Amino acid sequence: MPATKRSKPLYQRGAYALYRRTGRANLEIIWYDSEKRRERSASAGTDDVAQGRIALDRLYLTQTGHRMCPHCHRPWEHEVSPTLADAIADYLILMEGKASEETARYRLAHVIDYLAETDAGAVCAAINEQWIDKFRAWALKRPVKTSKGKYLRERSLAHVEGSVMQLAAAINATSGQKAQFKSRQQVDVARSPTYRADVKTIAAMFDYCLRPEGGRSDKERAMIAANRTNLLRYLQLAVASWARPETVLAIKRDQWHDAARVLDLNPARRLRTNKRQPMVPIAAQCALLLDAMDDLWIPVSTIRNSWDKMRVHLGLPGDRQAGPKLIRRSMATLVRRRIGEANWRQGEIMLGHVPFVTSDIYAIPDPANLGLALAATEEIISEIEALAPGAYRTVTAGTHGLRLVEGGKNG
């Protein structure tokens, strides 16, 4: 026991208390270990109280399995259920650092909003099929908007069901609780976009960035083009890599293996999940751009606003048919026609639709193994460059015509 009485803790949850100790930079977490019959302590790893609270919560959840009520600090009995808000808060703490953390927070934010409008004190045991049906109906009435409140589109069934699936995971992660409802399969609620852009349309996207219309002078038009640089960078790498939008936006220098001319779409420190991010060979026209990149390929977290302006300008379809993922879908469609079904396995690897094996982690893939897919991609880029000169600025002036892919086409 301490020689002097401790001051009031900065934060406490159950038997776990957060203190600031004299002569120590970091906050300290102190608790009584009933099994070892002695007091124990651990550093919070920070001197910030807010971060210290999170560290204590994380330790508490790990040590106790969330068997105690965070309000009265008494063990939960079988007939007692925690509030849904508490279960979600604890689940998000456990999700910290995981690849799907951001998605989980976004999906569960809708559930938190619904709780705020209906019953903030709802407990996990009360969340049944009827409750979920009411949540679905409420969520479908809320359109998708920008951060500034501008209307984008109606919310989809798949979007809502993502929140339902994440809520089930949060409840099931809470000790002693089990979700009393089932989420619908994505295949039953998702409506996959059917629109695909041809080479001419993709070239028009590059032209929109390089040669903007309007402006009162060449200088003003140059300023408009400069403001579209991030969109241009997105188009360049999305076409060359076939990657998902969020993947392109997060590319860093250390993902580019310049000697092998291979880009690892999975960032360092990101766990490989079912949403596979493969290593892909990069077209020669884009490889030189990657050689010259700084730490980040694109210094912004989203190009959504500039993309939507371009979509409207070019007259592309709305209703989620022509979002940023259009490039990925269109490149897959264009290349599949060129290399043929017999060789489409190469396309599946480029898209990350082939399961990983241990050797994929150890060995950087040889671009020659995806030669047909790579050659078709380079061929398409050459066609884009012919229609929109400057699309791949640093390599186009002296680029020779690329050989058409033969032998793998149908018919």
* Rounded Cα gap, residues 329 and 323, in angstroms: 10
Token reading at 71: 């309000």
Whether the pLDDT of residue 79 is over 50: the answer is no
* Rounded Cα gap, residues 91 and 373, in angstroms: 42
Whether the pLDDT of residue 19 is over 80: the answer is yes
- Return the higher-pLDDT residue of 281 and 1: 281
Single-letter residue type at 209: C
* Rounded Cα gap, residues 51 and 47, in angstroms: 8
* Rounded Cα gap, residues 164 and 133, in angstroms: 10
pLDDT tens digits for 124-166?
988 999 999 999 999 999 998 877 888 877 888 888 999 999 9
Cite the beta strand spans of 198-249 per DSSP E.
none
Token reading at 121: 């004190």
Cβ atoms of 383 and 199 within 8 Å: the answer is: yes
* Rounded Cα gap, residues 199 and 211, in angstroms: 18
Q: Which residues pair with 280 in a beta bridge?
A: 263
For the chain, the distance separating the N- and C-terminal CA atoms, rounded to the nearest angstrom, is 84
- Band (pLDDT 50/70/90 cuts) for residue 216 is confident
* Rounded Cα gap, residues 206 and 389, in angstroms: 9
Single-letter residue type at 110: H
Q: What pLDDT score does 269 carry?
A: 62
pLDDT tens digits for 386-407?
999 999 974 333 333 333 344 3
Token reading at 224: 């408009």
Pick from 153, 120, 114: nearest CA to 137: 114
Q: What pLDDT score does 403 carry?
A: 37
For 147, 154, 181, 308, 324, the CA distances from 151, given in Å and listed in that order, are: 10, 8, 31, 12, 17
Give the chain's mean pLDDT. Answer: 84
